[in-house]
Structure 1
Amino acid sequence: MTRTGSQRPLLSLVAVLLAVLTTLGIGPGIGTPIAAAEPTGSGSAESNGPKFLKLSLDSVTPTSITATSDPYFVVSGTVTNIGDRPVDDVSIRIQRGAPVTSPSGLRSTLRLDQINYDINGEFQDVAEQLTPGQRKQFSLTVALRAGTDLPSGISSLDIDSPGVYPLLLNVNGQPAYGGQARLDDARFLLPVLGVPGAADPKHATAQPTPSAVDAPPVATTMLWPLADRPRLVAGQPGAPDGQALLTDDDLAASLAQGGRLDQLLSALESMIKPDSGRDRSLVNAICLAVDPDLLITVSDMTRDYRVLASPSDPDGPTRSGAGSHAAKAWLERLRALAPGMCVVALPFAQVDPTALAAAGDVTLTDRALNAPADLIDSILTVKSVRGVAVPDAGTVDTEGATLFAHHGFTTTVLADNAVTTGDARANLISAKTPPGGGTEPGTPDVVNLADVTVPPAAGATPPAAPAALHAATFDIWAATALAAIGSNPPTPPFTPDKVRYDVTNDSRAARLQDALGAITWTALNPQPGRARSALLVPPQQWGANRDEASAVLAQLDLLVKNGLATPRPFTDLLAQQPDPQGFQLDYPSRAADDAVPARYAEPVHQQAQRITELMSALVDVPQQELSPRAFLNPLRDDLIRVLSLSDRRAGAATADTNAQRRLDQTTKTMDNLFGSVTVLPPGGVYTLASEQSPLLLVARNDLPVAIRVRFKIGAPAETNITDIGEQQLPAKGNRSFQIPTEVSDSRNLVIPIALTTPDGVPLGNAVSVSVRSNAYGQVLAIITACACALLLLLVGRRLWHRFRGQSDPADEEFDPGTQDRVTRNRRARKRDMKEQEAR
């Protein structure tokens, strides 16, 4: 409602009276004076008092000033009434502070009170009144140089030399029941590479002032990250025709037009277009840093894939994924772009090196650190940079660095405050440096980590001595500012505690300006003893959109064209000789707090060992669709994702839930795989035809790959079962076996039978076979022995009587006539035989 002129004096009088009452602490519902209301921007301390207005910076045009720019720039923003009462007489003015003279000032000046921004413009009216929830956009046209005849409504910031300047927008207003007060502010940096001529031609310094840096251009390198948090559902082994299963379909939106990964790629594509107007050599300064886990997931998405209906229920219903087309298009674009650029592989799934070292599994570490380069090369058809590790946190402890060294890495990329000399001269105690000046010691581009050595290559001739691991260092101030660009900005663990604040209080436009100022500062401010170089490293899951990423590239291009920077390939940086002074790792407590908890190390180690044990038993058959490695590597990847730092940006509770879920799913799958190879129980009692009949058994392999097994048979004392040694079971098939068996008992015998790997690891479930033999066993042996003894006795008795010339008593019952005839016949046969011999 618009107030009349007669109402205004009365309301003003009431407002004054209420302000006095409020100051005495007896105001209506307000415990603090309105005039003391604090701004909610990044630079001010949070107030417990009421909040009335929110000031947000929308854009700065142009984002950087050069000597050829217009003498004016435009600042646009929005004021929103976030309180519960109207605010009258809303007005805005711009203020500036002294140019930043130390690297830490890029951060600390954004926390200073508005009194330190002592060059003030004039207040410009924005709105006569803003009611609760109402917002109003505004634009301020600002002259850089002071002038005597500036147009009405234009303020001057009196900038006459290049530098990075902190600016502040100050909004004043009069809330109902209160007095006029500063209700909010917004701070940002303005990089001024050169000062254009004054708007007033009569001004004494009307001529442009280009940058006049008496130092070589800054050798600049930038990593361009393409990474995402783990999306594949754990516990899904490889399959020849299986569909990938994702926790959600958010990656499809990120790959589609307008998504985060699409826009990061688009910004690079626009840079290398022939008509981009950019310096073509700038592409040499950019190196793609790609997470292989992202590429594996995108490759799986190019085919039909499934998505969990509920991410918290891995065993629940699924639905078809909608991102196949977007995945194919994005991957094709990346394959077209990557061969013309430097490419380096990030550790798999942003794994925590410290947690990986604690897990202590060599094969798992090889998959997490060494395999990524081969994965990147095979999917993108490139030859990636080898021998360099880029940890997600930008810092690493001794165990993690030693892990890098023992797996063939010669260099790691770390924040410049993640290393220190013995006397700590290289520590950046940034918050203690006065904002008005002072130099800070720098860290060399490449340093030796004296306490971490790289083992010599095996078989080297002559044998080489162990060398120190190198660390290529990047600027923490530029990295912190780059991390704040985009949506959901993190504050990196290497950012000093005394200059940490919630960057989401600043608008995206303000955070972009801060980043542009941070990457420009080194070029404009040569420092004694500091190298003229810069390695720019955004976070691996960078949230910049296309416009923001393009603005960063445009700023680098602007520095190159103004002679303030020169592109430096990443490989050239890695090839530099390290500083001769020895450095040590300085692992910040913030990084330790954000690390993967130690309780995951042992269960991950146990499951990694089980995967290795099963892998050693599997057989790679040429006719087989699936190799053992392709079958089990997805499960190793799941264990690496358990140790990922990625999910920890969403909070420890969420990260722990995701990690435990992945671990549980992988453990459950391994249990099922080991149980998929077993002996089939014969059922009933197994009867042997004889005491030496073989035992017939059937073994089943439900795995899609062949496997080598051994029978583990607990033979009772009454049996002798021959070990048939190592056997092979076909993929998805059964096989019968004849086990040579000798049973010496006709009773029912219970024989326990199980399968193991050749190394003795149990497979499947053990079965018990009831066996009965048709052999008589000991009874038959006794009867046979007795019969033999009786036969020998009878034969001996007959011979005894014959030698004595006596008739055998057994013959006494024979007829004498019959006996004579037998005797005569015997004698006749003897005569016939003699006559025949005589003839």
Structure 2
Amino acid sequence: MAAAHPTRRTHRWILSLVALILAVLTTGVCALPAAAQPTGNGTGAAGPKFLKLSLDSVTPTAITESSDPYFVVSGTVTNIGDRVVDDVSVRLQRAAPISTASGLRTSLRLDQINYDVAGEFRDVADRLESGQRKQFSLTVALSADPDLPADVSALDITTPGIYPLLLNVNGEPAYGNQARLDDARFLLPVLGMPTATATATEPPASPAVPISPDVPPVATTMIWPLADRPRLVAGIPGSVDSYALLTDDELASSLTVGGRLDQLLSAVESAVKSDGGRDLAGALCLAIDPDLLLTVSAMISGYRVLASPSDPDGPTRAGIGTQSAENWLDRLRTLAPSMCTVALPFAQVDETALAAVNDLTLTDRALNGPADIVDSLLSVKTLRGVSLPDAGTIDTDTANLLAGHGFTTTVLADNAVTPLDGMSTAIGARPVDDTPESANPDVVRLPDVTLATAADSPPLTDPGLRVATFDIWSATALAAVGSHPPTPSFTPEQVRYDVTNDSRAARLQDALGAITWTALNPQADRPRSALFMPPQQWGANRDEATALLGQLKLLFRNNLATPRTFADLIAQPAEAQSYELNYLTKAADEAVPREFVDPVRAQAHRITELMTALAEVPQQELSPRAFLTPLRDDLIRTLTLSDRRSGGQPDTMAQRRLEQTTHTVDELYQSVSVLPPGGVYTLASEQSPLLLVARNDLPVAIRVEFRIDAPAETKITEIGEQVLPAKGTRSFQIPTEVSDSRNLVIPIALTTPDGVPLGNAVTVSVRSNAYGQALAIITACAGALLLLLAGRRLWHRFRGEADPADEGFDPETRRRVNRFRRARKREMHRQEDR
């Protein structure tokens, strides 16, 4: 038999190799969907992603006795892969109702096997091409009913509670098998069981008795923050006629209709006005950032915006938010007097960094000044004596700082304090970053932190600093609502994850469930109270904020909660058990680095030294305080926590702000100086005054002293403290005695009354017309000779002898001289008579 042709054998080898490669690739591709299956909270294991499932809405967001016995879930499936996906379908699953507070977070990370009650898969699309999306809606009944339509699933929910739900999407990618490709998790609050129905679309013929939880209402308080990141450009002292300069114009967008701050304010306005808003207004307290108010107020007078935020000395443009700022501030002025109002620390300052700086004046501006600012700009009386740190946790130095500045209470996360004895109590102790199942009392005391009292004040009944605690689980869920959601520092490490993987609708549902859980789940070791604390720079829009406020009103109407004012909360007695601070490690990681502490302290000290030298003048438009306070504000903004959660470059921004402020302070000190006279200054005599001119380029008057390092040959009398007028010069005569006729170099400088140098020192070359010691000797010798000669003449005259000095002098000549003198006198008299 003939051998095969060599070319044919080669072709067969190539075909076999190609078949083998295709088989390997097909096997690998078929296994890809399994690797891409999500592991919880919408995040998948390492491997390619094919579909993205997003929750769009849940209607209604909470189930009550008056609700329909079914709800509608809407979502969107998007093909985010590089190949088509066939047979796309979704279904809804649920897990057991949440029985512990930590379950509000941990249930969202459960594997889908824990969502053991599942509905039927419903088709979404036969095929989704790469980049294509498809919306869908699922109608879901709470409990099974034989008469339910075929397209309605049931989840067997029969009792009130907070239920974790999982929306699951399956599909078959090209070259793969049918598999679960993504999921979305969220919470469904069920406040009460609706009446039973025969179908999902028709009401029952005879309604059944509804089921509702039989628990005492929860005393509820909610803080409503209005804050923004620092926007004013650093290094601009106060003035009477200049425009404010902002780093960008994002605040204008936030204040205008549809902006973040506009929507937060609108939601409260609408909520408290509807039905009189009595319950809601009593439960809410506006927490306002004074830095925001100062910025908005400055915008009303007209402002400029940097063309490039990274170039503070570059070109600027006119801001567009003047009218929006005025409208927003007027609305806030109308609303604030009718509600509880409390001032936040200035510019969301890191209070631990502020304590490390330890500057009295800077601390007073950051902690005590905010209440005065809010009161002045809004015409209200804010709640005093309570501090709301942005991080929700502080260290001991910060606690002592607050106590020393008149604060009796601070608001912290309930895992930021632990019992002093370190042992479990009825309300439970917690180690750092643990996941507690119990909460601390509403108010606890820190006996190791003693409040400051005036010398003439009576002793305090309880001198320890008090801590009002808020629930970390609801606070974590509230922080996730809205755009750019942060994960707070007090959220335990083991339940932290990227919440942006969830849709905004899912995060809103989680928050609704979190603020409802305590009302539905009475715990023996938990107080029947709740303090809800959103993040200070909150990103919730109007719809989300309205839904949350609506949930509170729903709890009030169903007698599951009762409003409690913030003032009542912080005024209630503290727990008898003593507590200590538990400064959380994550907060320490996110705090302002220590490298900013020393420079901020140094500049704050220099500003204080300059402030003590400035003079209050009645005719002066600008006061020293108004002139220098903006620079102090810039130092506080350097210590802000706001930029540290924006995902930008917080250290770079803080360093730039610090450098701008430092540069301005340097210029202020250089603005007061002695003008160099130029050339050699010649004194008319040895006791002639030294004439000097000092100039003050500051817009405020300043008190100065001359510092003159006089050489040994010169004696200069100090003239003491002097005042230089604003934007002016002044001449001074310095009493000077010079005992040398040589050119003398005299260094002269200006200082504050406390001796702090101002401007640059100058040198004055001085030369005196005096002859010094030789002149004194010659004068003395001449005087002695004169006395000797006069005594000699008198001696001879008394003896009646002619003075030998007159010998040889002609008597006739003497007579002629005498006649000439007499004739001259007569002529002078005639001239005078004329």
Match of 1:497 in 2: 493
Contact 1:395-1:415 at 8 Å conserved across structures: yes
State the Cα distance separating 1:734 from its structure 2 match. 1.1
State the Cα distance separating 1:40 from its structure 2 match. 4.7
Match of 2:817 in 1: none
The equivalences for 1:399-438 within 5 A come to 399-421=397-419, 422-425=421-424, 426-428=428-430
Q: 1:547 aligns with which of 543, 550, 564?
A: 543
Rate the CA distance shift 1:627–1:811 in 2: closer, same or farther, 3 A: closer
Contact 1:431-1:499 at 8 Å conserved across structures: no
Q: TM-score, normalised by structure 2?
A: 0.91
Match of 1:185 in 2: 183
CA distance in 1, matches of 2:205, 2:182: 36
Match of 1:620 in 2: 616
State the Cα distance separating 1:775 from its structure 2 match. 2.2
- Which letter does structure 2 place at the counterpart of 1:317? P
Contact 1:678-1:763 at 8 Å conserved across structures: yes
Q: Secondary structure at the match of 1:307?
A: strand
Q: Secondary structure at the match of 1:745?
A: coil
Rate the CA distance shift 1:44–1:127 in 2: closer, same or farther, 3 A: closer
Q: Indicate yes or no: 2:244 matched with 1:244.
A: yes
Match of 2:120 in 1: 122
CA distance in 2, matches of 1:168, 1:623: 71
Match of 1:360 in 2: 358
Q: Indicate yes or no: 2:566 matched with 1:567.
A: no
**Gap runs ≥5 in structure 2:** 1-18, 815-834
Contact 1:104-1:431 at 8 Å conserved across structures: no
Contact 2:396-2:581 at 8 Å conserved across structures: yes
Match of 2:162 in 1: 164
State the Cα distance separating 1:798 from its structure 2 match. 6.0
- Which letter does structure 2 place at the counterpart of 1:506? D
CA distance in 2, matches of 1:255, 1:496: 34
- Which letter does structure 2 place at the counterpart of 1:209? P
State the Cα distance separating 1:772 from its structure 2 match. 2.1
The equivalences for 1:512-527 within 5 A come to 512-527=508-523
Contact 1:84-1:132 at 8 Å conserved across structures: yes
State the identity %. 70
Contact 2:705-2:751 at 8 Å conserved across structures: yes
Query: Which string of whole-angstrom CA distances, capped at 9 and with x for unpartnered residues, describes residues 400-424 of structure 1?
Result: 1111111000000000011111325
Rate the CA distance shift 1:533–1:658 in 2: closer, same or farther, 3 A: same
Contact 1:68-1:208 at 8 Å conserved across structures: no
State the Cα distance separating 1:746 from its structure 2 match. 2.3
Query: Which string of whole-angstrom CA distances, capped at 9 and with x for unpartnered residues, describes residues 378-399 of structure 1?
Result: 0000000000000001111111
State the Cα distance separating 1:800 from its structure 2 match. 7.5
State the Cα distance separating 1:460 from its structure 2 match. 1.1
- Which letter does structure 2 place at the counterpart of 1:710? E
- Which letter does structure 1 place at the counterpart of 2:450? T
Rate the CA distance shift 1:229–1:431 in 2: closer, same or farther, 3 A: closer
Query: Which string of whole-angstrom CA distances, capped at 9 and with x for unpartnered residues, describes residues 595-646 of structure 1?
Result: 0001111110110011111111111112211111000000000000011111
Rate the CA distance shift 1:811–1:197 in 2: closer, same or farther, 3 A: closer
Q: Indicate yes or no: 2:687 matched with 1:687.
A: no
Rate the CA distance shift 1:761–1:790 in 2: closer, same or farther, 3 A: same
Match of 1:451 in 2: 448
Contact 1:91-1:171 at 8 Å conserved across structures: yes
Rate the CA distance shift 1:32–1:364 in 2: closer, same or farther, 3 A: farther
CA distance in 2, matches of 1:623, 1:411: 42
CA distance in 2, matches of 1:696, 1:397: 57
Match of 2:396 in 1: 398
Contact 1:42-1:503 at 8 Å conserved across structures: no
- Which letter does structure 1 place at the counterpart of 2:446? L
The equivalences for 1:270-669 within 5 A come to 270-273=270-273, 276-277=274-275, 280-421=278-419, 422-425=421-424, 426-428=428-430, 440-461=437-458, 463-464=459-460, 467-651=463-647, 654-669=649-664
CA distance in 1, matches of 2:623, 2:67: 62
* Larger displacement relative to structure 2 (423-432 or 716-725): 423-432
Rate the CA distance shift 1:816–1:254 in 2: closer, same or farther, 3 A: closer
CA distance in 2, matches of 1:630, 1:29: 75
Aligned length: 789
Contact 1:107-1:499 at 8 Å conserved across structures: yes
The equivalences for 1:84-163 within 5 A come to 84-163=82-161
Q: Indicate yes or no: 2:211 matched with 1:210.
A: yes
- Which letter does structure 2 place at the counterpart of 1:368? A
Q: Secondary structure at the match of 1:623?
A: coil
State the Cα distance separating 1:785 from its structure 2 match. 1.6
CA distance in 1, matches of 2:745, 2:523: 86
State the Cα distance separating 1:776 from its structure 2 match. 2.5
Query: Which string of whole-angstrom CA distances, capped at 9 and with x for unpartnered residues, describes residues 261-296 of structure 1?
Result: 0000000011122xx247522111000000000000
Q: 1:696 aligns with which of 691, 699, 710?
A: 691
Contact 2:52-2:79 at 8 Å conserved across structures: yes
**Gap runs ≥5 in structure 1:** 1-19, 434-438, 820-839
Query: Which string of whole-angstrom CA distances, capped at 9 and with x for unpartnered residues, describes residues 451-494 of structure 1?
Result: 21112233114x44771100000000000000000000000010
Q: Secondary structure at the match of 1:735?
A: strand
CA distance in 1, matches of 2:462, 2:745: 60
CA distance in 1, matches of 2:241, 2:191: 58
Contact 1:446-1:579 at 8 Å conserved across structures: yes
- Which letter does structure 2 place at the counterpart of 1:155? S
Contact 2:40-2:110 at 8 Å conserved across structures: no
Contact 2:252-2:325 at 8 Å conserved across structures: yes
Contact 2:29-2:176 at 8 Å conserved across structures: no
CA distance in 2, matches of 1:613, 1:304: 32
Match of 1:831 in 2: none
Rate the CA distance shift 1:594–1:25 in 2: closer, same or farther, 3 A: farther
Q: 1:708 aligns with which of 690, 703, 710?
A: 703
- Which letter does structure 2 place at the counterpart of 1:481? A
CA distance in 2, matches of 1:594, 1:211: 43
CA distance in 1, matches of 2:441, 2:618: 53
Q: Secondary structure at the match of 1:164?
A: strand
- Which letter does structure 1 place at the counterpart of 2:239? A
CA distance in 1, matches of 2:812, 2:414: 131
The equivalences for 1:222-241 within 5 A come to 222-241=222-241
Q: Secondary structure at the match of 1:580?
A: coil
Contact 1:147-1:203 at 8 Å conserved across structures: no
State the Cα distance separating 1:700 from its structure 2 match. 1.0
Q: Aligned-residue CA RMSD in angstroms?
A: 2.5
CA distance in 2, matches of 1:296, 1:45: 42
CA distance in 1, matches of 2:813, 2:60: 146
State the Cα distance separating 1:37 from its structure 2 match. 3.4
State the Cα distance separating 1:430 from its structure 2 match. 11
Rate the CA distance shift 1:432–1:157 in 2: closer, same or farther, 3 A: farther
CA distance in 2, matches of 1:627, 1:796: 72
Q: Secondary structure at the match of 1:63?
A: coil
CA distance in 2, matches of 1:278, 1:794: 115
Contact 1:66-1:210 at 8 Å conserved across structures: no
- Which letter does structure 2 place at the counterpart of 1:186? A
Match of 2:830 in 1: none
State the Cα distance separating 1:766 from its structure 2 match. 1.2
Contact 1:746-1:775 at 8 Å conserved across structures: yes
